[in-house]
Structure 1
Amino acid sequence: METVGVSDRVLLHRSATGDRRAFGALFDRHSRALTRYAWALVSDRMDVQDIVQDTFVTAWNKASWVTIAESSALPWLLVTCRNHALNLRRKKANHRTESLPDGLADVAVNEDRALAAQRLRWVLTEIESLDGLDRRICELCLIEGRSYAEAAVIVGASVGAVGKRLERARTLIRTAVSNNEQ
């Protein structure tokens, strides 16, 4: 199939009917521009590749109902690419662990464990008072520095459940520490 001079609208229509060559032509036509755009949105090579791939998977899955302006699919692809980048950014923000404040981090590094435990007694007491699963999640994410995904695998829960449990535990710990410092 010759694709020179064929509009993106026609290529998308053919893709919707399962024409892989038409979709390949659409990919060849716009993948460089999408890759450059993805680099402007994220800084990791693997993330760029994932975003571009997800954009074209979305285009393949939605080819039957995508309406493009004029004859180019590029504006729609760029918006889709941006949405995937924003979703990735949100996902990474949700799974990021927070580090200890500077003073507390120094305590853990520079002092022996007994003294560090004494200085962090309110936090540790609150973590110990949590139910078993919440306590384990706090130990994994807050103390050991593991990601939500790693903790989810270890405790056998979803990443979302780990995030919600940790958010709830952090609120309880912050409240308890604030009350004990007053």
Structure 2
Amino acid sequence: MGVTDDSDEAVWQRVLSGDASAYGTIWRRHRDRVFRHHLACGTPAPDAEDLTATTFLELWRRRDDVRFVDHSLLPWLIVTAHNVSRNAARARRRYHRFLAALPPPAEIPDHADGVTDAHDERLRAVREALAAARPADARLLAMTALEGFTVRESAAALGLSESAAKMRLSRLRSSLRALIGEQPLTEGGS
């Protein structure tokens, strides 16, 4: 059987002559079969997409050495896809063995917490008060003492009257004074 104008072999000759669109023809003809072969080799779908691209990269890289079977590139592509899948699986196994051989990472505390707490007793005390307070009161304290909102703004955001918010803050400030002394915690973050 001779080479026809639409056979892979004829299209490949156009690729080798510089016709870039001819390579797209080969891609469109065979990408789905190559992708399915990668899936059949046990490759997860996202990896199979990458390996399909790798298979076609190998086609381009070895463009002068490809073999046709009955004027078709598909057999060569399937053999190459199989080899690409095996190489990728081997690389994954090596990588997993390497990771398994590494010692587990040491538990390292975040030094920023220590620096912040050591240099800002007020913040540490506010954190403790927030942890011990009722959730609504903690949000109120956070909005006024940490975020800089006024009592009126915070009360409106939380659905409280301004007088109820002031009463809650007064109780919280009393408990905070017991923890941090007489440093004032005024509204607006100052």
Q: Which residue of 1 aligns with 2:36?
A: 36
Residue 94 of structure 2 is matched in structure 1 by 94
Match of 2:69 in 1: 69
Amino acid at match of 1:6: D
Q: Which residue of 2 aligns with 1:53?
A: 53
Alignment of 1:1-182 (within 5 A): 6-97=6-97, 141-144=102-105
- Normalized against structure 2, the TM-score is what? 0.49
Matched with 1:160 is none
Residues 16 and 60, structure 1, Cα contact 8 Å, conserved in 2: no
Asked if the contact 1:30–1:74 (Cα under 8 Å) also holds between the matched residues in 2, the reply is: yes
Identity %: 26
Q: Check the 8 A contact 2:38/2:82 in 1, yes or no.
A: yes
Aligned counterparts of 2:59 and 2:24: Cα–Cα separation in 1: 12
Determine if contact 2:5/2:11 at 8 Å carries over to the other structure. Answer: no
Corresponding residue for 1:131? none
Contact 1:98/1:142 (CA < 8 Å) preserved in 2? Answer: no
Distance 1:99 1:50, change over 3 A: closer
Q: Which residue identity is paired with 1:71?
A: H
Letter in 1 for 2:105: E
Letter aligned with residue 66 of structure 2: V
Q: Are the equivalent residues in 2 in contact too, given 1:59–1:77 (CA < 8 A)?
A: yes
Taking only aligned residues, the RMSD between alpha carbons, in angstroms, comes to 2.4
Distance 1:40 1:62 in 2: 24
The alignment partner of 2:65 has SS state of coil
Matched with 2:151 is none
Give the direction of change, closer, same or farther, for the CA distance of 1:90–1:99 in structure 2 (3 Å limit): closer
Q: Is the 8 A contact 1:12 1:64 kept in 2?
A: no
Structure with greater Cα Rg = 2
Distance 1:43 1:61 in 2: 23
Task: Go from structure 1 to structure 2 and tell me whether the alpha carbon gap of 1:95 and 1:11 turns closer, same or farther (over 3 Å shift).
Answer: same
User: Structure 1 residue runs of 4+, over 4 Å off?
Assistant: none
Give 1:5 deviation, angstroms: 5.4
Query: Contact 1:13 / 1:63 at 8 angstroms: preserved in 2?
Result: no
Q: Unaligned stretches of 5+ in structure 1?
A: 101-137, 146-182
* Residue segments in structure 2 that go unaligned for 5+ positions in a row: 107-190
Once the two structures are TM-superposed, the CA of residue 98 in structure 1 deviates from its matched residue by 7.3
User: What SS does the corresponding residue of 1:96 show, helix, strand or coil?
Assistant: helix
Please tell me whether the aligned partners of residues 14 and 22 of structure 2 are also in contact (alpha carbons under 8 angstroms).
yes
Structure 2 Cα separation of the partners of residues 99 and 6 of structure 1: 49
